[in-house]
Amino acid sequence: MIERLLRVSRAIDALSEWVGRSLSWLVLLTIAVGFYNVMARYIGRFLGLQLASNGLIELQWYLFSLTFLLSFPYILKQGANVRVDFLEANWSDRRKALISFWGTVLFLIPFCVLGLWVTVNPVLQSWGLLPDGTWGRWEISADASGLPRAPIKSVVLVGFGLLLLQAVAQAIKYWAVWCGYVEGSALPEAEAELPPLE
């Protein structure tokens, strides 16, 4: 049974790894769009031309939002999330796994489910769902030549969904360590000993 669950967890890990590595290109694109926006504003003023647009300014924060919202599963998988290391420094791997398992099951997974539940209606309304159940127009930026809001709001759902999947994968791995199925320091967040700072 645990072997099957670990296979599921490895598949989720692979998805989070792929998404996380893909986001590095979005960071570069965000920087490039931001650089263009700044240069276009100043050069446009100098030349007396309108080189910048609200669409490109919004694209910059859309790209940042994508990077921010979709990187949480990768951060969790890598163990780069905030932890209280000084409390667990002398704990065994099994004890760390048990505490992490219950923290994930009692706090992180319900948080993701709550995030999905609270976000569904605003996202559907952004896509044009009306109170009577019919569909109208997408939500559009109030700024001239702005971008539609519905796609970027949908990313909130995707982000919570991916984080929920990774939380389930982490819980499986923690439980496997607690059961003694994974030997040694196989916790996902285990790090090499660092030399003391001097």
pLDDT digits (tens, 9 = 90+) for 93-113: 888 889 899 999 999 999 999
Angstrom distance (rounded) from CA 26 to CA 88: 35
Strand partners, 135: 129
In tens, the pLDDT along 74-87 reads: 999 998 777 666 67
Q: What ranges in the chain are assigned the alpha helix state H? A: 2-47, 54-70, 72-78, 85-88, 93-103, 109-126, 150-178
Residue 160 half-sphere exposure, CB side, CA atoms within 13 Å? 17
Give me the tens of pLDDT residue by residue for the chain, a chain 198 residues long.
788 999 999 999 999 999 999 998 999 999 999 999 999 988 988 888 888 888 999 999 999 999 999 999 999 999 877 766 667 777 888 888 898 999 999 999 999 999 999 999 999 999 999 989 899 999 988 888 889 999 999 999 999 999 999 999 999 999 999 888 764 334 444 443 434 444
Angstrom distance (rounded) from CA 49 to CA 107: 53
Reduce the DSSP state of residue 148 to 3 states and report it: strand
Strand partners, 140: 148
Copy the structure tokens of residue 109. Answer: 């997974």
Copy the structure tokens of residue 171. Answer: 């819980």
Longest dimension (CA), the chain: 70
pTM of the shown model: 0.83
Query: Is residue 98 a contact partner of residue 189, using CB atoms and an 8 Å limit?
Result: no
